[in-house]
Amino acid sequence: MHSLFVHDLILQGATDSQAFAGKDNVSYGELQEQVSKYRNYFYRSGVRAGENVGLFSRNSTDFVYCYMAVISLGAVIVPLNFQLAAREIAFIVKDTKMKRLITMERLVIDSELSQQGYTQLVEQLVIADFKPGLTQDNYSAAPVLDISINENSPCAIIYTSGTTGTPKGAVLTHSNLVANAQAFRERLPLNLCDNVLCVLPMYHCFAWTCAVLNPLLCGAAITILEAFAPKETITAIKDYGVTVVYGVPPMYNLLTRIGEAEDLAGVKYFVSGGASLPEKVAQQFADKYGNRIIEGYGLSEASPVVTLNPAQKPKYCSIGKALPGLEVKVADSNGQPLPPGVVGEIIVRGPSVMQGYFNLPAESENALKDGWLYTGDLAYQDAEGYLFVVDRLKDLIISNGENIYPREIEELLYAYPGIIEASVIGVRDELRGQVARAYIVLAEGHSFDKKAAREYLQTNIAAYKIPRDFVVVDGLPKNQTGKILKRVLREQAG
**What's the angle, vertex CA 408, arms to CA 402 and CA 413, rounded to 5?**
125
Pairing of β 26-27 and β 18-20: antiparallel
What is the structure's pLDDT at 327? Answer: 97
> What pLDDT shows up at residue 163?
42
pLDDT at residue 164 tops 60: no
Q: Are 387 and 469 in a shared domain?
A: no
pLDDT above 70 coverage of the chain, percent: 98
Same domain, yes or no, for 470 and 338?
Answer: no
Residue 460 CB neighbour total at 10 angstroms: 13
Q: Please write the tens of the pLDDT for every residue from 95-151.
A: 999 999 999 999 999 999 999 999 999 999 999 999 999 976 667 788 888 788 999
Side-chain half-sphere CA neighbours of 305 within 13 A:
36
Number of other residues whose CB lies within 10 A of the CB of residue 135: 8
Do 292 and 267 fall into the same domain?
Answer: yes
pLDDT digits (tens, 9 = 90+) for 320-341: 999 999 999 999 999 999 999 9
How many C-beta neighbours within 10 Å does residue 405 have? 20
Residues 414 and 326 in one domain: no
What is the share, in percent, of the chain residues with pLDDT greater than 90? 81
* 363-372 average pLDDT score: 95
Return the pLDDT at 371: 93
Instruction: Give the end of a domain, one of 350, 369, 393.
Output: 393
Judge if 432 and 369 occupy the same domain: no
Domain end (from 340, 366, 393): 393
Q: In this structure, are 338 and 487 located in the same domain?
A: no
Whichever domain contains 337, its CATH number is: 3.40.50.12780
Q: In which band, very low, low, confident or very high, does the pLDDT at 463 lie, cut at 50, 70 and 90?
A: confident
Residues 348, 434: one domain? no
Can you tell me the mean pLDDT for 171-194? 97
Q: Is residue 203 located within the same domain as residue 220?
A: yes
pLDDT at 161 over 70: no
- Is a pLDDT exceeding 60 seen at residue 12? yes
Query: Are 340 and 417 found together in one domain?
Result: no
Q: Which of these ranges, 126-130, 380-384, 431-435, has the smallest mean pLDDT? A: 431-435
Domain containing residue 350: 1-393
How far is 188 from 175, CA to CA, in rounded Å?
20
pLDDT band at residue 53 under the 50/70/90 scheme: very high
Confidence at residue 137, expressed as pLDDT on a 0 to 100 scale: 66
Number of structural domains, the chain? 2
One domain, residues 131 and 81: yes
How far, in Å, CA of 472 to CA of 419, rounded? Answer: 10
> 393, 422, 440 — which closes off a domain?
393
